[in-house]
Amino acid sequence: FCEFRFDYRVAVNSLADGQKAVYNCFTSMVDFEAEFCQNLEMRFRNIYHITVLGLLNKRYLLMDGQKHSDELALFEAAQRNDTAVMS
């Protein structure tokens, strides 16, 4: 048994689609987790023989990245002392 972190991105057509996907993930967590685990197993089956027993920290399974992007932009502006972007 082992624990690993798997980072990924999901392409969506719009911000609204991304927010809808995040909402649906949380409202249908049991179904989403089962489907996600099965797809993860099948995707890497030809490389690794893995069985995903469950997911930890499910609240981070699918997140809207806008907040993180905004925080990164603010941090980078602060490093450049770009007060116009920071305000």
Cα gap 60→72, rounded to integer Å: 18
What does the pLDDT look like over 27-67, one tens digit per residue?
A: 888 888 888 888 888 888 888 777 777 777 777 777 777 88
User: pTM (2 decimals)?
Assistant: 0.56
**Whether 21 contacts 61, CB under 8 Å:** no
3-state helix, strand, coil in the chain (%, to 5): 55, 0, 45
